Chains A and B, each alone.
Chain A
Amino acid sequence: MNWTWFHKLGSPKWFYELTSKWLPWLIGAMVIFLAVGVVWALLYIPPDYQQSYTTRILVIHVAVAGTSLAFFPLMAVAGTITLVWRMKLADMVAKNAAPLGAWFSFITLATGSLWGSVMWGTWWEWSDARLVSMLFQFFLLVGVVALRSALEDNDTAARACALLSIVGCINVVIIKYSVEWWNVLHQPSSPLSMSGESANGPEFWVPTVVMIVAVYLFFAVSLILATRNEILQRERKAAWVQELVSKA
Protein backbone atom coordinates (compact mmCIF):
# COMPACT_ATOMS: atom_id res chain seq x y z
CA MET A 1 0.00 0.00 0.00
CA ASN A 2 1.15 3.49 -0.78
CA TRP A 3 1.61 5.48 2.41
CA THR A 4 2.81 8.79 0.96
CA TRP A 5 -0.55 10.43 1.64
CA PHE A 6 -0.09 9.64 5.33
CA HIS A 7 3.38 11.18 5.47
CA LYS A 8 2.16 14.18 3.54
CA LEU A 9 -0.40 14.72 6.30
CA GLY A 10 2.51 15.47 8.59
CA SER A 11 3.43 18.50 6.52
CA PRO A 12 1.59 21.64 7.64
CA LYS A 13 2.37 23.27 4.32
CA TRP A 14 0.69 20.48 2.37
CA PHE A 15 -2.37 20.71 4.63
CA TYR A 16 -2.49 24.48 4.24
CA GLU A 17 -2.39 24.31 0.47
CA LEU A 18 -4.91 21.49 0.28
CA THR A 19 -7.40 23.25 2.54
CA SER A 20 -6.97 26.45 0.54
CA LYS A 21 -8.48 24.52 -2.37
CA TRP A 22 -11.19 22.86 -0.26
CA LEU A 23 -12.29 25.79 1.85
CA PRO A 24 -14.37 27.71 -0.74
CA TRP A 25 -16.39 24.55 -1.47
CA LEU A 26 -16.77 23.65 2.16
CA ILE A 27 -17.82 27.15 3.13
CA GLY A 28 -20.24 27.35 0.19
CA ALA A 29 -21.84 24.03 1.12
CA MET A 30 -21.96 25.06 4.77
CA VAL A 31 -23.74 28.35 4.01
CA ILE A 32 -26.32 26.62 1.81
CA PHE A 33 -27.00 23.80 4.27
CA LEU A 34 -27.06 26.13 7.26
CA ALA A 35 -29.40 28.59 5.59
CA VAL A 36 -31.78 25.88 4.40
CA GLY A 37 -31.56 23.96 7.66
CA VAL A 38 -32.02 26.88 10.03
CA VAL A 39 -34.84 28.51 8.08
CA TRP A 40 -36.63 25.22 7.55
CA ALA A 41 -36.13 24.08 11.13
CA LEU A 42 -37.03 27.30 12.86
CA LEU A 43 -39.80 28.61 10.60
CA TYR A 44 -41.41 25.83 8.60
CA ILE A 45 -41.59 22.63 10.64
CA PRO A 46 -45.26 22.00 11.38
CA PRO A 47 -46.11 21.95 15.09
CA ASP A 48 -46.01 18.51 16.68
CA TYR A 49 -49.31 17.38 18.13
CA GLN A 50 -47.70 16.91 21.53
CA GLN A 51 -44.69 19.16 21.54
CA SER A 52 -46.13 21.94 19.35
CA TYR A 53 -43.45 24.34 18.09
CA THR A 54 -40.71 23.26 20.49
CA THR A 55 -39.62 20.49 18.12
CA ARG A 56 -37.97 23.24 16.10
CA ILE A 57 -35.36 23.67 18.84
CA LEU A 58 -34.75 19.95 18.79
CA VAL A 59 -33.62 19.94 15.18
CA ILE A 60 -30.69 22.18 16.05
CA HIS A 61 -30.13 20.46 19.38
CA VAL A 62 -29.92 16.98 17.85
CA ALA A 63 -27.50 18.13 15.16
CA VAL A 64 -25.16 19.91 17.59
CA ALA A 65 -25.36 17.08 20.12
CA GLY A 66 -24.48 14.48 17.50
CA THR A 67 -21.50 16.51 16.36
CA SER A 68 -20.28 17.17 19.90
CA LEU A 69 -19.90 13.41 20.42
CA ALA A 70 -17.33 13.34 17.63
CA PHE A 71 -14.79 15.50 19.46
CA PHE A 72 -13.34 13.05 21.97
CA PRO A 73 -12.83 10.26 19.42
CA LEU A 74 -11.28 12.82 17.04
CA MET A 75 -8.95 14.13 19.76
CA ALA A 76 -8.05 10.60 20.87
CA VAL A 77 -7.10 9.63 17.30
CA ALA A 78 -5.14 12.85 16.82
CA GLY A 79 -3.53 12.27 20.22
CA THR A 80 -2.47 8.75 19.27
CA ILE A 81 -0.90 10.11 16.09
CA THR A 82 0.89 12.78 18.15
CA LEU A 83 2.23 10.23 20.62
CA VAL A 84 3.24 7.61 18.08
CA TRP A 85 4.42 9.57 15.04
CA ARG A 86 4.97 13.01 16.62
CA MET A 87 3.08 14.62 13.76
CA LYS A 88 2.81 18.34 14.41
CA LEU A 89 -0.34 18.68 12.36
CA ALA A 90 -2.27 16.17 14.47
CA ASP A 91 -1.55 18.26 17.54
CA MET A 92 -2.58 21.48 15.84
CA VAL A 93 -5.93 19.89 15.03
CA ALA A 94 -6.31 18.47 18.56
CA LYS A 95 -5.42 21.78 20.18
CA ASN A 96 -8.21 23.60 18.37
CA ALA A 97 -10.69 20.75 18.64
CA ALA A 98 -10.76 20.91 22.45
CA PRO A 99 -12.21 24.42 22.93
CA LEU A 100 -14.48 23.91 19.91
CA GLY A 101 -15.75 20.68 21.48
CA ALA A 102 -16.38 22.46 24.76
CA TRP A 103 -18.48 25.05 22.93
CA PHE A 104 -20.44 22.39 21.06
CA SER A 105 -21.14 20.61 24.34
CA PHE A 106 -22.20 23.87 25.91
CA ILE A 107 -24.57 24.68 23.04
CA THR A 108 -25.99 21.16 23.28
CA LEU A 109 -26.70 21.70 26.97
CA ALA A 110 -28.12 25.17 26.38
CA THR A 111 -30.48 24.18 23.55
CA GLY A 112 -31.45 21.07 25.47
CA SER A 113 -32.28 23.18 28.52
CA LEU A 114 -34.35 25.58 26.43
CA TRP A 115 -36.34 22.69 25.04
CA GLY A 116 -36.57 21.02 28.42
CA SER A 117 -37.81 24.17 30.13
CA VAL A 118 -40.89 24.03 27.91
CA MET A 119 -41.42 20.31 27.46
CA TRP A 120 -40.28 18.91 30.79
CA GLY A 121 -41.10 22.02 32.77
CA THR A 122 -37.55 22.17 34.08
CA TRP A 123 -34.25 23.56 32.87
CA TRP A 124 -32.23 20.78 34.35
CA GLU A 125 -33.07 17.20 35.15
CA TRP A 126 -30.55 15.04 36.98
CA SER A 127 -32.45 11.87 36.18
CA ASP A 128 -31.72 12.15 32.46
CA ALA A 129 -28.52 10.31 31.65
CA ARG A 130 -27.80 12.25 28.48
CA LEU A 131 -27.84 15.62 30.24
CA VAL A 132 -25.53 14.52 33.00
CA SER A 133 -23.04 12.71 30.79
CA MET A 134 -22.96 15.65 28.36
CA LEU A 135 -22.18 17.91 31.31
CA PHE A 136 -19.24 15.71 32.26
CA GLN A 137 -18.03 15.59 28.68
CA PHE A 138 -18.05 19.39 28.84
CA PHE A 139 -16.02 19.32 32.08
CA LEU A 140 -13.49 16.87 30.63
CA LEU A 141 -13.03 19.02 27.52
CA VAL A 142 -12.56 22.10 29.69
CA GLY A 143 -9.93 20.08 31.57
CA VAL A 144 -8.02 19.43 28.34
CA VAL A 145 -8.17 23.13 27.45
CA ALA A 146 -6.98 24.05 30.95
CA LEU A 147 -4.06 21.63 30.79
CA ARG A 148 -3.07 22.98 27.39
CA SER A 149 -3.02 26.56 28.60
CA ALA A 150 -1.14 25.65 31.78
CA LEU A 151 1.77 23.89 30.05
CA GLU A 152 4.07 26.37 28.41
CA ASP A 153 6.30 24.08 26.40
CA ASN A 154 4.55 23.25 23.11
CA ASP A 155 5.90 19.74 22.80
CA THR A 156 5.11 18.75 26.39
CA ALA A 157 1.65 20.29 26.12
CA ALA A 158 1.01 18.40 22.89
CA ARG A 159 1.88 15.01 24.36
CA ALA A 160 0.27 15.65 27.74
CA CYS A 161 -3.00 16.73 26.11
CA ALA A 162 -2.80 13.78 23.73
CA LEU A 163 -2.63 11.40 26.67
CA LEU A 164 -5.39 13.19 28.53
CA SER A 165 -7.60 13.06 25.41
CA ILE A 166 -7.13 9.31 25.13
CA VAL A 167 -7.89 8.80 28.83
CA GLY A 168 -10.82 11.22 28.52
CA CYS A 169 -12.22 9.39 25.50
CA ILE A 170 -12.32 6.12 27.44
CA ASN A 171 -13.68 7.93 30.46
CA VAL A 172 -16.55 9.57 28.60
CA VAL A 173 -17.80 6.14 27.62
CA ILE A 174 -17.53 4.82 31.19
CA ILE A 175 -19.26 7.91 32.57
CA LYS A 176 -22.01 7.59 29.98
CA TYR A 177 -22.79 4.02 30.98
CA SER A 178 -22.45 4.58 34.72
CA VAL A 179 -24.78 7.57 34.60
CA GLU A 180 -27.29 5.56 32.60
CA TRP A 181 -27.06 2.75 35.10
CA TRP A 182 -27.49 5.22 37.96
CA ASN A 183 -30.67 6.51 36.36
CA VAL A 184 -32.16 3.19 35.45
CA LEU A 185 -32.06 2.32 39.12
CA HIS A 186 -33.37 5.67 40.23
CA GLN A 187 -36.20 5.90 37.81
CA PRO A 188 -37.26 2.75 36.01
CA SER A 189 -39.71 4.33 33.59
CA SER A 190 -38.44 7.64 32.36
CA PRO A 191 -41.24 10.04 31.46
CA LEU A 192 -38.62 12.08 29.66
CA SER A 193 -38.08 9.70 26.78
CA MET A 194 -37.84 11.29 23.38
CA SER A 195 -39.88 8.58 21.75
CA GLY A 196 -42.12 11.29 20.32
CA GLU A 197 -39.29 12.09 17.94
CA SER A 198 -39.14 8.74 16.21
CA ALA A 199 -42.86 8.89 15.60
CA ASN A 200 -42.35 11.93 13.44
CA GLY A 201 -42.53 11.75 9.70
CA PRO A 202 -40.27 13.17 6.99
CA GLU A 203 -41.39 16.75 7.70
CA PHE A 204 -39.31 16.43 10.85
CA TRP A 205 -36.40 14.18 9.98
CA VAL A 206 -35.52 15.70 6.59
CA PRO A 207 -34.67 19.12 8.08
CA THR A 208 -32.89 17.27 10.91
CA VAL A 209 -30.64 15.52 8.40
CA VAL A 210 -30.04 18.82 6.59
CA MET A 211 -29.15 20.40 9.90
CA ILE A 212 -26.81 17.56 10.90
CA VAL A 213 -24.94 17.92 7.61
CA ALA A 214 -24.84 21.71 8.12
CA VAL A 215 -23.45 21.44 11.65
CA TYR A 216 -20.84 18.89 10.59
CA LEU A 217 -19.76 21.23 7.79
CA PHE A 218 -19.64 24.10 10.28
CA PHE A 219 -17.51 21.95 12.57
CA ALA A 220 -15.16 21.05 9.72
CA VAL A 221 -14.83 24.64 8.51
CA SER A 222 -14.23 26.01 12.03
CA LEU A 223 -11.64 23.37 12.77
CA ILE A 224 -9.84 23.87 9.45
CA LEU A 225 -9.78 27.65 9.83
CA ALA A 226 -8.48 27.41 13.39
CA THR A 227 -5.86 24.86 12.36
CA ARG A 228 -4.71 27.09 9.48
CA ASN A 229 -4.26 29.94 11.96
CA GLU A 230 -2.29 27.64 14.19
CA ILE A 231 -0.11 26.57 11.28
CA LEU A 232 0.70 30.16 10.35
CA GLN A 233 1.53 30.96 13.95
CA ARG A 234 3.73 27.96 14.63
CA GLU A 235 5.44 27.96 11.23
CA ARG A 236 5.88 31.72 11.13
CA LYS A 237 9.61 31.28 10.64
CA ALA A 238 9.23 28.91 7.69
CA ALA A 239 10.06 30.30 4.26
CA TRP A 240 6.68 29.49 2.70
CA VAL A 241 4.78 31.32 5.45
CA GLN A 242 7.03 34.37 5.15
CA GLU A 243 6.40 34.36 1.41
CA LEU A 244 2.64 33.97 1.90
CA VAL A 245 2.47 36.81 4.39
CA SER A 246 4.62 39.18 2.33
CA LYS A 247 2.39 38.55 -0.71
CA ALA A 248 -0.71 39.42 1.29
Chain B
Amino acid sequence: MSQAASPSTGHAFLATLKRDLVIAYKRKNDMLNPFMFFLIVATLFPIGITPDPERLGEISAGVLWISALLASLLAMDNLYRSDYEDGSLEQLLLCPYPLYYLVLAKNLAHWLVSGLPVVLVSPLIAYMLNLPQEAYLTLFLTLLMGTPVLSLLGSIGVALTVGLGSRGLILAVITLPMSVPVLIAGTLAVQQTLNGAPLLAYLAIMGAMLLTALTLAPLASAAALRISVN
Protein backbone atom coordinates (compact mmCIF):
# COMPACT_ATOMS: atom_id res chain seq x y z
CA MET B 1 0.00 0.00 0.00
CA SER B 2 1.43 3.33 -1.03
CA GLN B 3 -1.45 5.17 0.65
CA ALA B 4 0.86 7.28 2.77
CA ALA B 5 2.82 8.46 -0.24
CA SER B 6 -0.12 9.59 -2.35
CA PRO B 7 -1.23 13.17 -1.71
CA SER B 8 -4.68 13.98 -0.38
CA THR B 9 -7.63 15.17 -2.45
CA GLY B 10 -7.00 18.69 -1.23
CA HIS B 11 -3.48 18.56 -2.59
CA ALA B 12 -4.75 17.24 -5.91
CA PHE B 13 -7.23 20.11 -6.04
CA LEU B 14 -4.52 22.69 -5.39
CA ALA B 15 -2.10 21.05 -7.81
CA THR B 16 -4.70 21.11 -10.60
CA LEU B 17 -5.53 24.72 -9.81
CA LYS B 18 -1.86 25.72 -9.80
CA ARG B 19 -1.13 23.87 -13.02
CA ASP B 20 -3.97 25.58 -14.86
CA LEU B 21 -2.99 29.00 -13.54
CA VAL B 22 0.61 28.50 -14.62
CA ILE B 23 -0.48 27.40 -18.09
CA ALA B 24 -2.75 30.43 -18.34
CA TYR B 25 0.08 32.71 -17.22
CA LYS B 26 2.31 31.33 -19.93
CA ARG B 27 -0.31 32.03 -22.58
CA LYS B 28 -1.08 35.61 -21.77
CA ASN B 29 -2.88 36.22 -25.05
CA ASP B 30 -5.49 33.59 -24.25
CA MET B 31 -6.00 35.40 -20.99
CA LEU B 32 -6.30 38.79 -22.58
CA ASN B 33 -8.69 37.89 -25.41
CA PRO B 34 -11.91 37.37 -23.41
CA PHE B 35 -11.16 40.54 -21.51
CA MET B 36 -10.67 42.56 -24.70
CA PHE B 37 -13.75 40.92 -26.16
CA PHE B 38 -15.77 42.09 -23.15
CA LEU B 39 -14.51 45.67 -23.54
CA ILE B 40 -15.20 45.76 -27.27
CA VAL B 41 -18.69 44.22 -27.11
CA ALA B 42 -19.68 46.58 -24.30
CA THR B 43 -18.56 49.58 -26.35
CA LEU B 44 -20.43 48.39 -29.44
CA PHE B 45 -23.77 48.95 -27.72
CA PRO B 46 -23.53 52.76 -27.45
CA ILE B 47 -22.46 52.88 -31.08
CA GLY B 48 -25.18 50.48 -32.22
CA ILE B 49 -28.05 51.77 -30.09
CA THR B 50 -27.61 55.34 -28.92
CA PRO B 51 -25.00 57.74 -27.56
CA ASP B 52 -27.71 59.41 -25.43
CA PRO B 53 -26.48 59.10 -21.79
CA GLU B 54 -29.96 58.68 -20.30
CA ARG B 55 -30.97 55.82 -22.52
CA LEU B 56 -27.55 54.24 -22.13
CA GLY B 57 -27.95 54.39 -18.37
CA GLU B 58 -31.20 52.44 -18.65
CA ILE B 59 -29.72 49.60 -20.68
CA SER B 60 -26.20 49.59 -19.21
CA ALA B 61 -26.81 46.81 -16.67
CA GLY B 62 -28.15 44.51 -19.38
CA VAL B 63 -25.32 45.44 -21.73
CA LEU B 64 -22.72 44.60 -19.11
CA TRP B 65 -24.35 41.31 -18.22
CA ILE B 66 -24.75 40.21 -21.84
CA SER B 67 -21.16 41.22 -22.62
CA ALA B 68 -19.94 39.25 -19.60
CA LEU B 69 -22.04 36.27 -20.70
CA LEU B 70 -20.59 36.34 -24.23
CA ALA B 71 -17.04 36.82 -22.95
CA SER B 72 -17.46 33.85 -20.64
CA LEU B 73 -18.78 31.78 -23.55
CA LEU B 74 -15.86 32.78 -25.76
CA ALA B 75 -13.33 31.91 -23.08
CA MET B 76 -14.95 28.53 -22.50
CA ASP B 77 -13.26 27.02 -25.51
CA ASN B 78 -9.92 26.95 -23.68
CA LEU B 79 -11.31 25.10 -20.68
CA TYR B 80 -10.71 21.47 -21.67
CA ARG B 81 -9.61 21.83 -25.29
CA SER B 82 -5.82 21.77 -25.00
CA ASP B 83 -5.93 19.17 -22.23
CA TYR B 84 -8.05 16.98 -24.47
CA GLU B 85 -5.69 17.37 -27.39
CA ASP B 86 -2.47 16.63 -25.53
CA GLY B 87 -3.97 13.74 -23.58
CA SER B 88 -3.66 15.21 -20.10
CA LEU B 89 -7.44 15.19 -19.75
CA GLU B 90 -7.37 11.41 -20.00
CA GLN B 91 -4.77 11.29 -17.24
CA LEU B 92 -6.99 13.52 -15.15
CA LEU B 93 -9.89 11.07 -15.58
CA LEU B 94 -7.67 8.12 -14.72
CA CYS B 95 -6.17 9.50 -11.54
CA PRO B 96 -7.66 8.17 -8.30
CA TYR B 97 -9.21 11.40 -7.03
CA PRO B 98 -12.87 12.39 -7.20
CA LEU B 99 -13.28 14.05 -10.56
CA TYR B 100 -15.66 16.54 -8.93
CA TYR B 101 -12.77 18.33 -7.17
CA LEU B 102 -10.49 18.29 -10.19
CA VAL B 103 -13.24 19.73 -12.41
CA LEU B 104 -13.97 22.31 -9.73
CA ALA B 105 -10.29 23.27 -9.64
CA LYS B 106 -10.19 23.65 -13.41
CA ASN B 107 -13.36 25.74 -13.37
CA LEU B 108 -12.01 27.92 -10.58
CA ALA B 109 -8.74 28.50 -12.43
CA HIS B 110 -10.66 29.32 -15.56
CA TRP B 111 -12.87 31.80 -13.75
CA LEU B 112 -9.90 33.47 -12.03
CA VAL B 113 -8.30 33.98 -15.42
CA SER B 114 -11.27 34.89 -17.63
CA GLY B 115 -14.15 35.84 -15.30
CA LEU B 116 -12.51 37.85 -12.55
CA PRO B 117 -10.81 40.42 -14.86
CA VAL B 118 -14.20 41.10 -16.44
CA VAL B 119 -15.78 41.61 -13.01
CA LEU B 120 -12.96 43.90 -11.91
CA VAL B 121 -13.19 46.15 -14.96
CA SER B 122 -17.01 46.24 -14.95
CA PRO B 123 -17.30 49.45 -12.82
CA LEU B 124 -15.20 51.28 -15.40
CA ILE B 125 -17.42 50.15 -18.26
CA ALA B 126 -20.47 50.91 -16.11
CA TYR B 127 -19.14 54.45 -15.77
CA MET B 128 -18.63 54.73 -19.53
CA LEU B 129 -22.19 53.49 -20.08
CA ASN B 130 -23.56 55.96 -17.57
CA LEU B 131 -24.99 53.46 -15.09
CA PRO B 132 -26.47 55.38 -12.12
CA GLN B 133 -24.01 55.39 -9.24
CA GLU B 134 -26.31 53.77 -6.71
CA ALA B 135 -26.18 50.57 -8.74
CA TYR B 136 -22.40 50.15 -8.93
CA LEU B 137 -22.10 48.00 -5.83
CA THR B 138 -25.03 45.78 -6.85
CA LEU B 139 -23.65 45.31 -10.33
CA PHE B 140 -20.20 44.50 -9.04
CA LEU B 141 -21.37 42.03 -6.40
CA THR B 142 -23.87 40.25 -8.67
CA LEU B 143 -21.25 39.92 -11.40
CA LEU B 144 -18.79 38.62 -8.82
CA MET B 145 -21.27 35.92 -7.76
CA GLY B 146 -22.87 35.37 -11.17
CA THR B 147 -19.89 34.92 -13.47
CA PRO B 148 -18.68 31.79 -11.63
CA VAL B 149 -22.16 30.32 -12.25
CA LEU B 150 -21.74 31.07 -15.96
CA SER B 151 -18.35 29.32 -15.92
CA LEU B 152 -19.74 26.30 -14.08
CA LEU B 153 -22.72 25.96 -16.44
CA GLY B 154 -20.61 26.53 -19.52
CA SER B 155 -18.23 23.84 -18.35
CA ILE B 156 -21.00 21.24 -18.82
CA GLY B 157 -21.48 22.30 -22.43
CA VAL B 158 -17.75 22.32 -23.13
CA ALA B 159 -17.31 18.91 -21.56
CA LEU B 160 -20.10 17.50 -23.74
CA THR B 161 -18.61 18.90 -26.95
CA VAL B 162 -14.89 18.58 -26.22
CA GLY B 163 -14.43 15.80 -28.76
CA LEU B 164 -15.96 17.72 -31.63
CA GLY B 165 -13.89 19.36 -34.34
CA SER B 166 -15.91 22.52 -34.82
CA ARG B 167 -18.12 23.31 -31.89
CA GLY B 168 -18.19 27.06 -31.43
CA LEU B 169 -21.83 27.50 -32.38
CA ILE B 170 -23.13 24.32 -30.85
CA LEU B 171 -21.62 25.34 -27.54
CA ALA B 172 -23.52 28.63 -27.72
CA VAL B 173 -26.80 26.90 -28.61
CA ILE B 174 -26.45 24.54 -25.65
CA THR B 175 -25.09 26.95 -23.07
CA LEU B 176 -26.78 30.30 -23.65
CA PRO B 177 -30.37 29.22 -22.83
CA MET B 178 -29.11 27.71 -19.58
CA SER B 179 -27.66 31.05 -18.51
CA VAL B 180 -31.01 32.84 -18.60
CA PRO B 181 -31.80 32.61 -14.86
CA VAL B 182 -28.44 34.19 -13.98
CA LEU B 183 -28.99 36.96 -16.49
CA ILE B 184 -32.45 37.62 -15.08
CA ALA B 185 -31.26 37.69 -11.47
CA GLY B 186 -28.32 39.94 -12.31
CA THR B 187 -30.11 42.59 -14.35
CA LEU B 188 -33.13 42.53 -12.07
CA ALA B 189 -30.95 43.14 -9.03
CA VAL B 190 -29.49 46.25 -10.64
CA GLN B 191 -32.88 47.60 -11.73
CA GLN B 192 -34.47 46.95 -8.38
CA THR B 193 -31.62 48.63 -6.50
CA LEU B 194 -32.28 51.70 -8.59
CA ASN B 195 -35.91 51.50 -7.49
CA GLY B 196 -34.74 51.44 -3.88
CA ALA B 197 -35.17 47.73 -3.13
CA PRO B 198 -32.83 46.17 -0.55
CA LEU B 199 -29.72 44.65 -2.06
CA LEU B 200 -29.51 41.68 0.26
CA ALA B 201 -32.47 39.80 -1.23
CA TYR B 202 -30.86 39.68 -4.68
CA LEU B 203 -27.50 38.73 -3.28
CA ALA B 204 -29.22 35.88 -1.45
CA ILE B 205 -30.77 34.63 -4.68
CA MET B 206 -27.50 34.99 -6.57
CA GLY B 207 -25.77 33.17 -3.73
CA ALA B 208 -28.31 30.37 -3.89
CA MET B 209 -27.66 30.01 -7.62
CA LEU B 210 -23.91 29.99 -7.01
CA LEU B 211 -24.14 27.32 -4.32
CA THR B 212 -26.45 25.14 -6.41
CA ALA B 213 -24.14 25.44 -9.38
CA LEU B 214 -21.07 24.74 -7.23
CA THR B 215 -22.55 21.52 -5.87
CA LEU B 216 -24.28 20.17 -8.99
CA ALA B 217 -22.57 21.53 -12.10
CA PRO B 218 -19.11 19.94 -11.56
CA LEU B 219 -20.86 16.58 -11.13
CA ALA B 220 -22.55 17.02 -14.51
CA SER B 221 -19.27 18.25 -16.06
CA ALA B 222 -17.41 15.25 -14.67
CA ALA B 223 -20.03 12.86 -16.08
CA ALA B 224 -19.89 14.68 -19.42
CA LEU B 225 -16.09 14.43 -19.55
CA ARG B 226 -16.28 10.69 -18.91
CA ILE B 227 -18.75 10.40 -21.80
CA SER B 228 -16.69 12.52 -24.19
CA VAL B 229 -13.37 10.87 -23.43
CA ASN B 230 -13.68 7.19 -24.06
Least distance between B214 CB and chain A CB atoms (Å): 15
Contacts of A147 in B (CB 8 A): 160-161, 170, 174
Given A167-B156, A178-B181, A178-B184: A142 and B173 interface contact (C-beta under 8 Å): yes
A156's contact among B163, B173, B176, by CB below 8 Å, is which?
Answer: B163
Report whether B227 and A160 are in contact in the complex, using a CB–CB cutoff of 8 Å.
yes
Q: Is the CB of A143 within 8 A of B167?
A: no
Given the interface contacts A143-B174, A147-B170, A178-B181, does A163 sit within 8 Å of B164 by beta carbon?
Answer: no
Chain B 154-174 near chain A by CB (<8 Å), digits 1 or 0? 001000110110010010011
For A182, give its contact among B161, B164, B188, B223 (CB under 8 Å). B188
Q: In the complex, how many angstroms separate the beta carbon of A24 from the nearest chain B beta carbon?
A: 39
Complex contacts, B59 vs chain A, CB 8 Å: none
Q: How large is the interface on B (under 10, 10 to 19, 20 to 34, 35 or more residues)?
A: 20 to 34
Bound-state Cα–Cα, A178 to B180, Å: 8
Q: For the complex, would chain A's binding face be called helix, strand, loop or mixed by DSSP majority?
A: helix
Cβ-neighbour of A146 out of B163, B173, B223, B224 (below 8 A): B173
Q: A16 at the A/B interface (Cβ < 8 Å)?
A: no
* Interface residue from A150, A163, A168 paired with B224 (Cβ < 8 Å): A163
- Complex interface: chain A residues within 8 A of B220 (CB): 163, 166-167
Judge whether A136 is part of the interface by a CB distance below 8 angstroms: yes
Cβ-neighbour of B178 out of A150, A151, A171 (below 8 A): A171
Judged by DSSP, the binding face of B is helix
Name the interface residues of A138-153: CB closer than 8 Å to any CB of B: 139-140, 142-143, 146-147, 150-151
- CB-CB under 8 A from B228, the residues of chain A are 156, 160
Produce 1/0 per residue, A178-192, CB < 8 A to B.
110110010000000
Q: From residue 175 to 230 of chain B, which have CB atoms closer than 8 A to chain A?
A: 176-178, 180-181, 184-185, 188, 192, 220, 223-224, 227-228, 230
Residues of B within 8 A of A167 (CB): 156, 178, 220
Known contacts A150-B164, A151-B164, A160-B224, A179 near B173 by CB under 8 Å = no
B170 contacts A150, C-beta separation under 8 Å: yes
**Contact size range, A:** 20 to 34
Asked if A159 meets B227 with Cβ closer than 8 Å, knowing A146-B174, A147-B161, the reply is yes
* B167–A150 touching, CB < 8 Å: yes
In the complex formed, the residue of A with least CB distance to B180 is A175
Contact B167 A136 (CB under 8 A): no
**Distance between Cα atoms of A82 and B19 in the complex (Å):** 35
**Proximity bits, B59-83, A CB within 8 Å = 1, else 0:** 0000000000000000000000000
Residue from the list A143, A150, A185 in contact with B177, Cβ < 8 A:
A143
CA distance A20 to B68 in the complex (A): 53
* Chain A residues within an 8 Å CB radius of B173: 139, 142-143, 146
A136-B177 CB under 8 A given contacts A147-B160, A150-B161, A151-B164? yes
Contact residues of A with B, CB < 8 Å? 83, 136, 139-140, 142-143, 146-147, 150-151, 156, 159-160, 163-164, 166-168, 171, 174-175, 178-179, 181-182, 185
The 8 A-B pairs at the shortest CB distance, nearest first, are namely: A178-B181, A139-B177, A143-B174, A159-B227, A182-B184, A143-B173, A178-B184, A160-B160
Ordered by A's residue number, 27 sampled pairs between the chains whose C-beta atoms are within 8 Å are A136-B180, A139-B177, A140-B178, A143-B170, A143-B173, A146-B170, A146-B173, A150-B161, A156-B228, A156-B230, A160-B224, A163-B156, A163-B160, A163-B220, A163-B223, A163-B224, A164-B174, A168-B178, A171-B178, A174-B181, A175-B177, A178-B180, A178-B184, A181-B184, A181-B188, A182-B184, A185-B188
